[in-house]
């Protein structure tokens, strides 16, 4: 497993918990607006931390940190993930998994084994627009649908989120997303922000008013939909 980074303390990545975030390198998507570009295209150069270092750090922070957020890249591309999460679990941490939803089998296994408490799944775009948003020719939509469905109808705590990007998304995306995950208990619309780490720089953000317009469309199907990180 390629661990590229560790954010030692965050109040943002795990809702309601003081957490550390572990960044795994590599991804099976190539979203042009990805803000972790180096982690996706060149994980071998993006940093290298051993599992032992992470576990040692977490052991020291027991009783201070409450949770661990596992993000990427795409964590579920690693078949060793359950073994690593078991070690984290044994230290007494709550665990949140960030995923693009392409590995429903792994998500189900992690829940079955009691190794995750929450999943945050990206909804990249409307299903019709996934090839563009995920930056790959075959975005494994059957798998993505299966994971979303599993979360919608299962017992695991979850949230869905979409990063809205001008040049990728239109109103049509949010109309379709609303129908797709109708009634979801938690859905967040996030605004794209340009940064040096973006995979394909040059996209723009929507204005606050445009985002509020998308939110109104979404709330017709997902009353709990909200905007995150926009003033
Ligand atoms: S945004 Fe997520 S799913 Fe897309 S390329 Fe980046 S890490 Fe992978």
Alpha helices of the chain — where are they, by DSSP H? 37-41, 51-60, 81-90, 104-112, 130-134, 141-153, 171-180, 208-219
pLDDT for residue 231 is more than 80: no
Give the separation between CA 206 and CA 84, rounded to whole angstroms. Answer: 39
Mean pLDDT of 43-49: 88
Whole-number pLDDT of residue 70: 98
Q: Is the pLDDT assigned to residue 230 strictly greater than 90?
A: no
Q: Looking at residue 44, what is its pLDDT?
A: 86
Mean pLDDT of 193-204: 91
Sequence spans of domains, the chain:
3-228
Model pLDDT, residue 6: 97
Distance between CA 45 and CA 187 in Å, rounded? 33
Distance 63 CA to ligand 1 centre (A): 32
Average pLDDT score, the chain: 96
Which long-range contacts (C-beta less than 8 Å, at least 24 apart) are formed by 59-62? 59/91, 61/8, 61/20, 62/91, 62/92
How far apart are the C-alpha atoms of 99 and 150, rounded to whole Å? Answer: 13
Q: b vs e for 85-94, b when ≥16 Cβ sit within 10 Å of the residue's Cβ?
A: beebbeeebb
Taking the centre of ligand 1 as the mean of its atom positions, its distance from the CA of residue 5, in whole angstroms, is 15
The CA 38 to ligand 1 mean position distance, Å, reads 11
Specify the pLDDT at position 46.
85
Q: Are 149 and 182 in contact (CB under 8 A)?
A: no
Determine the Cα–Cα distance for residues 141 and 128; give it in Å rounded to an integer.
10
Model pLDDT, residue 43: 87
User: 3-228 is classed in which CATH architecture?
Assistant: Alpha-Beta Barrel (3.20)
Residue to mutate, 30, 38, 169, ligand 1, most ligand atoms under 8 Å from C-beta: 30
- Which tens digit of pLDDT belongs to each residue from 135-153? 999 999 999 999 999 999 9
**100 alpha carbon – ligand 1 mean position (Å):** 7
71/46: higher pLDDT = 71
Which of 36, 124, 139, 168 maximizes ligand 1 atoms within 8 Å of its Cβ, making it the mutation to test the pocket? 36
CB 176 within 8 A of CB 218: no
Top mutation candidate among 25, 73, 98 for ligand 1, by most atoms within 8 Å of CB: 73
* Residue 139 Cα to ligand 1 middle (Å): 12
In the prediction, which pLDDT does 120 show?
A: 98
- Per DSSP bridges, beta strands 226-228 and 67-71 are unpaired
Which protein residues are within 6 Å of ligand 1, measured from CB? 27, 29-31, 34, 36, 40, 72-74, 100
Given a cut of 80, whether residue 179 has pLDDT beyond it is: yes
pLDDT digits 0-9 by tens, 82-141: 999 999 999 999 999 999 999 999 999 999 999 999 999 999 999 999 999 999 999 999
Ligand 1 centre and the CA of 194: distance in Å?
A: 15
């Amino acid at each position: 497993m390629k661990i590229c980074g560790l954010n030692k303390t965050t109040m943002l990545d795990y809702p309601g918990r003081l957490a550390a975030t572990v960044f795994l390198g590599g991804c099976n998507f190539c979203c042009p607006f990805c803000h972790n570009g180096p982690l996706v295209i060149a994980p071998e150069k993006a940093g290298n931390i051993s599992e032992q270092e992470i576990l040692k750090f977490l052991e020291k922070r027991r009783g201070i940190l409450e949770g661990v957020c596992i993000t990427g890249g795409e964590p579920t591309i690693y078949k060793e993930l359950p073994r690593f999460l078991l070690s984290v679990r044994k230290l007494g941490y709550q665990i949140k998994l960030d995923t693009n939803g392409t590995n429903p089998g792994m998500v189900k296994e992690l829940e079955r084994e009691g190794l995750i408490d929450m999943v945050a799944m990206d909804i990249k775009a409307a299903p019709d627009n996934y090839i563009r948003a995920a930056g790959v020719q075959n975005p494994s939509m059957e798998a993505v649908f299966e994971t979303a469905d599993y979360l919608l109808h299962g017992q695991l705590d979850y949230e869905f989120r979409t990063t809205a990007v001008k040049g990728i998304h239109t109103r049509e995306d949010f109309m379709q997303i609303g129908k797709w995950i109708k009634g979801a208990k938690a859905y967040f619309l996030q605004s794209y922000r340009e940064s040096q780490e973006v995979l394909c720089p040059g996209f723009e953000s929507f204005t606050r008013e445009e985002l509020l317009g998308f939110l109104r469309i979404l709330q017709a199907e997902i009353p709990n939909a909200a905007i995150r990180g926009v003033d």
